[in-house]
Amino acid sequence: MPENQNHNLNDLRKSAISQPLVTDKFTADPSAHLFNGKIYIYPSHDIDAGIPFNDNGDHFGMRDYHVYSMDSPDDRKAKDLGKILDIDDVPWAKRQMWAPDIAENAGKYFFYFPAKDHNDIFRIGVAIADSPTGPFTAEKKYIEGSYSIDPAIFNDNGNYYMYFGGIWGGQLQKYRENIYREGNELPDDNEPALGPIVAKMSDDMKSFSSVPKEIKILDEKGNYLTAGDNERRYFEGPWMHTYNDKYYLSYSTGDTHFICYAIGDNPTGPFKYGGRILEPVIGWTTHHSILEIDGRWFLFYHDSSLSEGVTHLRCMKVVEIFYDEHGKIITVSPYSRSIQK
């Protein structure tokens, strides 16, 4: 979080480079897409579940999803198009509907979401609709072989890939080679960090056609980023986009609160660390999506400014981002606007 955040929250809010897109609900983890010329945003819907803060993330007790739209990112406000899915509509899900994503294929819309099953294990499900606004109908079972959190779907010229996984409360550290063991924990600081998981989607978009595999992120010398390198290593929240024929894997570093990226030559890696996209925001978590609109690039993200710093009550925002001549993303400082005294 920004230094001395508790002492200068008002100044941070005044110096914010963007304002909340929604103010009547708490929204987080915005997944932004362009469908039929319109921007649609699929965030988490934060609520105060009355659960004390803990490292397992139990206080993030979300139960449903809404979809929002914008005609332009310059509108600075998003319109609520209504609820599209509730946990009561998902037979296998028990609680905690966290960050989702969506993809369109052959006129159908596939909405992917994580939730804990009735054994309190995170799984990833899919709900399907004929429109980006629904109604969505959830499959009765979660995707076989799915686990952990934060699904992100990437369309690589008609081949669809799902990226997913988050450590700590997201349970990724409990898996090795796609097998859950309660005794598994995070690697030692000098060992390779856990990376996100990638799997190719089947033609029906409801299952994996490849065995999920871990992506490793490399440093500038070609070595794996280590678990102790927590200002650069992967924590949660993967996203994939392409720029100048390169693949950009972006993600959150979690406990150090950065959005970082790594660059590769194909959608499954390897990826070499590239730098930071976003400096820390108000609140503990940071999550994002990146969308190209009419030749301009935008970062959709969240902070906790609307709730005055309550980490599980967040608000989604958007800011334009830029690349330099070498393809590096210019780092965004979210509270860098001059304050008029």
* pLDDT, mean over the chain: 95
191 as an active site residue: the answer is no
- Dist. CA 160–CA 201, nearest whole Å: 5
Q: Which member of 29, 150, 214, 303 is catalytic?
A: 29
Mean pLDDT of 194-219: 98
> Phi then psi for 243, rounded to 5 degrees?
-150, 125
Mean pLDDT of 259-268: 98
Give percent helix, percent strand, percent coil of the chain, each to the nearest 5: 5, 40, 50
Q: What is the pLDDT of residues 24-78, one digit of tens each?
A: 999 999 999 999 999 999 999 999 988 888 888 889 989 999 999 999 999 989 9
- Dist. CA 76–CA 263, nearest whole Å: 30
285-288 own/partner pairs: CB under 8 Å, 24+ apart: 285/28, 285/252, 285/254, 285/311, 285/314, 286/237, 286/252, 286/257, 286/258, 286/259, 287/28, 287/29, 287/30, 287/99, 287/150, 287/236, 287/237, 287/252, 288/30, 288/237, 288/239, 288/250, 288/252, 288/259
Question: Mind listing the domains of the chain with CATH numbers?
Answer: 5-321 (2.115.10.20)
Amino acid identity at 9: L
Residue listed under structure tokens 């609709």? 129
**Which pLDDT score is estimated for 339?**
54
- Dist. CA 307–CA 245, nearest whole Å: 40
> Which is nearest to 254 in space by CA: 290, 285, 215?
285
Q: Which member of 86, 236, 279, 324 is catalytic?
A: 236
pTM of the predicted model as reported, rounded to 2 decimal places: 0.96
- Dist. CA 159–CA 59, nearest whole Å: 36
- Dist. CA 239–CA 289, nearest whole Å: 6
What DSSP assignment string belongs to 168-207?
GGG-GGGEETTEE-TT--PPPTTSBPP--EEEEBPTTSSS
255 as an active site residue: the answer is no
Is 212 a residue whose pLDDT tops 50? yes
